[in-house]
Amino acid sequence: PARPRVFSGIQPTADSFHLGNYLGAVRHWVALQDSHDAFYCVVDLHAITAGHDPKVLKQRSRVAAAQLLAVGIDPERSTLFVQSQVAEHSQLAWVLGCITGFGEASRMTQFKDKAQKQGSERASVGLFTYPVLMAADILLYQADAVPVGEDQRQHLELSRDLAQRFNTTFGPTFTVPAPHIVKDTAKITDLQDPTSKMSKSSSSPAGIIDLLDDPARSAKKIRSAVTDTGREIVFDAVGKPGIANLLSIYSALSGRGIDDLVAAYDGKGYGDLKKDLAEVVREALTPIQERTRTYLDDPAQLDKLLAQGAEKARVVAAATLRATYDRIGF
């Protein structure tokens, strides 16, 4: 039987992925290649919904793709591409937008949060319809599974509703995608504000470890990570969120269990933990950084690889769009 299909996308909205993106999302994408027919997309159409700089967008898309390749996305086994190179995403999004209720879209909490932050008069219609485009991304590839974090659950629910609604109204066309929940996904928090998640929109750059941070820089951030006034190294996400976060990162990057780490650091100090974690981070990130640089050093080759990915994606996307158009009378 054919392997189940998985789709996931990531926005090129920063100069590097951070450790939260890697441990919470992208690393699982790599593992899913063993069991799934994977479509992975750098979603640059989504990246223009809240304002952007044209001069940096293309390079950020390249960096995102280079990092995905560097962590182990294999373009031979998986389809890796840039969203704007496959026009069918926008085309299907229009159709899906026409079966989405205005009230239904208005209930998306992420839009409400982001629009409030921007000032609701300034928030774009694109930001409002972002979840419809996301549904198109997923449904175009007839994805069976979509790895999602908590923040995207409501959007995936909309994708499922739209697939079912279309199928019921016009005839079976789309696979209804299921959420792929990754067990033991480390929730990585901000080093300076350990009760908030590590995020590119964090207020302090010292709170985020970028995948491309050199070892001295990441070591410095880990050294100055906010902890607590205690001295015991135990895992307590509520009482000791800073230490819990350092242990989570350590465990995720080294493969050692939290209990094993807690036992190993019994009687040792926060400084010891931070020093060793800096080394673990260096060991994990150095090869990724070297491979990322290799891809970025040859942009023509990288662009060619992405063009081939888009070609592969388009074959599937065009077939789905054609079937959709047939259903609705185009």
User: Is the CB of 10 or the CB of 261 nearer to ligand ADP?
Assistant: 10
Q: Which of 197, 221, 240, 274 is catalytic?
A: 197
CA–CA distance from 182 to each of 29, 36, 147, 168, 256 (Å)? Answer: 10, 14, 7, 30, 18
Catalytic annotation present for 312 = no
Write down the least CB distance from residue 294 to ligand ADP, Å.
Answer: 24
Q: Which of 200, 268, 275, 312 is catalytic?
A: 200
Write down the least CB distance from residue 163 to ligand ADP, Å.
Answer: 21
Catalytic annotation present for 275 = no
Cα distance between residue 244 and residue 145, in whole Å: 30
User: Is the CB of 22 or the CB of 174 nearer to ligand ADP?
Assistant: 22
CA–CA distance from 116 to each of 14, 151, 200 (Å)? Answer: 21, 16, 18
Write down the least CB distance from residue 196 to ligand ADP, Å.
Answer: 9
Which amino acid, one-letter code, is at 269? G
Q: Would you say 161 and 100 are in contact if contact means Cβ atoms under 8 Å apart?
A: no
- No. of H helices and E strands in the chain? 13, 5
Phi, psi of 7 (to 5 degrees): -125, 140
- DSSP labels for 173-214? -----EEEPPTT----B-SSSTTSB--TT-S-GGG--BTT--
User: Is the CB of 87 or the CB of 237 nearer to ligand ADP?
Assistant: 237
Phi, psi of 156 (to 5 degrees): -65, -35
**Residue 249 near ligand ADP by CB under 6 A:** no
| Of 320, 186, 310, 304, residue with least CA distance to 253 | 186
Catalytic annotation present for 240 = no
**Residue 24 near ligand ADP by CB under 6 A:** yes
- Which position among 187, 256, 275, 291 is part of the footprint of ligand ADP (CB under 6 A)? 187
**Residue 199 near ligand ADP by CB under 6 A:** yes
Q: Which of residues 39-68 bind ligand ADP (CB under 6 A)?
A: none
Q: Which of 55, 58, 112, 114 is catalytic?
A: 114
Write down the least CB distance from residue 171 to ligand ADP, Å.
Answer: 33
Residues flagged as binding site for ATP: 11-13, 20-21, 149-151, 188, 197-201
**Residue 179 near ligand ADP by CB under 6 A:** no
Pattern 132-151, ligand ADP, x by CB under 6 A: -----------------x-x
CA–CA distance from 329 to each of 52, 87, 168, 269 (Å)? Answer: 36, 20, 16, 69
Residues flagged as binding site: 11-13, 20-21, 137, 149-151, 188, 197-201
Q: Which of residues 1-20 bind ligand ADP (CB under 6 A)?
A: 10-11, 20
- Which position among 52, 200, 268, 275 is part of the footprint of ligand ADP (CB under 6 A)? 200
Cα distance between residue 21 and residue 177, in whole Å: 22
Phi, psi of 8 (to 5 degrees): -150, 155
Q: Would you say 165 and 130 are in contact if contact means Cβ atoms under 8 Å apart?
A: no
Show which residues are catalytic.
114, 197, 200
Q: Note the residues at the interface with ligand ADP (CB under 6 A).
A: 10-11, 20-21, 24-25, 149, 151, 187-188, 197-201
